[in-house]
Copies of this chain bind each other. A is one copy, B any other.
Amino acid sequence: MNSENDYAKYVKRMQQIADVKYSIAVLNWDQETYLPRKGAEARARQIATLTGMAHDLFVKPELEELLESLNENQNLDEDERANVRETRRDYLREKKYTTEFVIRMAQATSESFNARLQALEENRFEIFLPSLEKMVDLKREETKILGYSKHPYDALTDQFDPGLTVEKLDVLFADAEKQLLPLINNIVSQPKQVNNFLNKVYNKQKQWEFGIYLLKQMNYDFDAGRQDISGHPFTTSFSPHDVRVTTRIVENDFSNMVWSCIHEGGHALYEQGLKNEFYGLPLGEACSFSIHESQSRLWENCVGRSFAYWKANYAYLQKQFPENLSTIGLDSFYKSINAVKPSLIRTEADELTYHFHIFIRYGLEKKLIEKNLEVKDVKEAWNESYLRYLGLTVPDDKRGVLQDVHWSHGGFGYFPTYSIGSFYAAQFFATAQKQIPSLNGEIEKGNLEPLLGWLRKNIYVHGRKFTSEELCERVTGQKLKFSYFMDYARSKFAS
């Protein structure tokens, strides 16, 4: 009897905290889409205050007592137990932070977000440097607050994917590097026809409409979301019934919009597929950032860069932009969108060289957090890495160290989830193909419903019931194996 009350009390408290967190998400969404220039300062303090309040609500001793009592409770059902277990994990981490630290971090985040924007405008890393130094100091402080057994960076990755460590990443990424390099070198060494039709002028309004068309075809629910424009595309959620995506449109870079739409659409389908009944509870949240990224990449790459997908969509695309595409056949188009070539911008990279962008960032982040690299030297180190790994000279900061929003958000430890996400995506997609023999044929017809149904049933509905590793094993029968990605890459690129 009492235990039921306890669980209801716990739910009520968690949903109240969710209300505050989702409000912060609205403030952030607005900050990145519509905020007028002079509004940045007040917005920073508003976000900081709410962040502090959400933290305060969460770390109240009453909640700890409730969680400890529920943790012992034998009368909870499986879902309830999973919610309590995950909230308890969050609680034990969150209570390590003082409110003061949380507010300081939130304030620093908004400030450095704006500092980076300014630096971008003037194309000068030095403008961003003081904020980034402050941020890296805060992140170093955070690793001490959170604690770790082997490497301080583990404290950061653990937030995005519980259990992910430098030890695992070093092995996985070294293996990936070793296997990817010969494949890439082989492709790059082959002569190819250059046709830059993707960089012709594509009318912005028509690009926008084509993006909306793709999202609708993916069954993204526009009654439970919307798309807007922002500097850096992202997905955010204020409930499973309000999941928003953003994109950016560059007139002479059509690919930029298309694959960011599909990518963010993949994130959004996951959020829209979470159970609304678990609003504010762990089972109403995505499993981990790695699994989240697996969903965006599955849609972006395994689907959105497949021959089957464009067999369904290319004729329609040609009709939208006959001036650029009427003379380009489906085969050439497919080859072009899958061209492998080292490049400067992560978000525009092909599926193979992409991971080197991640390896570079991972290496720099580790060193920054270890204090083996000073923040003031990170630009030079960045440029050196691009030369060494990708053979490229970085011409300016915009196309170098300033290109990503992540550091200005304090998102250290996040980048690895992008590669891990791709690897999970290949493994999930191979499983889906095996379990739905007609999958490819349906995609060729533009019917993405069977795939979505499979993802909903196997991944979305579980929320945080399982860890990334457990979920992967449950869905695919195996732990994460890099060979799935290599099989996918070879069959697509080595032919």
Contacts and interface: CB of A to CB of B under 8 A. Distances in A.
Contacts of A182: none
Contacts of A38: 221, 223-224, 241-242
A41 B277 CA distance: 13
Interface in A206-245: 221-226, 228, 238-239, 241-242, 244
A201 interface: no
Contacts of A19: 45-46, 48-50
Contacts of A242: 35-36, 38-39, 42-43
Interface in A399-457: none
A53 B20 contact: yes
A224 B223 CA distance: 31
B22 A225 contact: no
A242 B222 CA distance: 28
Count of identical protomers in the assembly: 2
Interface stretch (A23-31, A142-150, A346-354): A23-31
A224 B36 contact: yes
A37 interface: yes
Contacts of A23: 23, 27, 46, 49-50
Contacts of A26: 26-27, 30, 46
A121 to B, nearest CB: 14
A118 interface: no
Interface residues on A, range: 35 or more
Given A26-B27, A42-B279, A50 B20 contact: yes
A16 interface: yes
A319 to B, nearest CB: 25
A244 B34 CA distance: 10
A324 B399 CA distance: 50
Nearest to A228: B34
Given A19-B50, A23-B23, A238-B42, A36 B279 contact: no
B223 A37 contact: yes
Contact of A36 (B34, B53, B222): B222
Contact of A46 (B22, B43, B224): B22
Nearest to A21: B46
B226 A42 contact: no
A19 B242 CA distance: 23
13 contacts: A20-B49, A22-B42, A22-B46, A23-B46, A34-B226, A36-B226, A37-B223, A37-B224, A38-B241, A38-B242, A39-B224, A39-B241, A42-B239
Given A26-B27, A38-B221, 19 more contacts: A15-B45, A19-B49, A22-B42, A22-B46, A23-B27, A23-B46, A23-B49, A36-B223, A36-B242, A36-B244, A37-B224, A38-B223, A38-B242, A39-B224, A39-B242, A41-B241, A42-B279, A43-B242, A53-B53
Interface of A: 15-16, 19-20, 22-23, 26-27, 30, 34-39, 41-43, 45-46, 48-50, 53, 221-226, 228, 238-239, 241-242, 244, 279
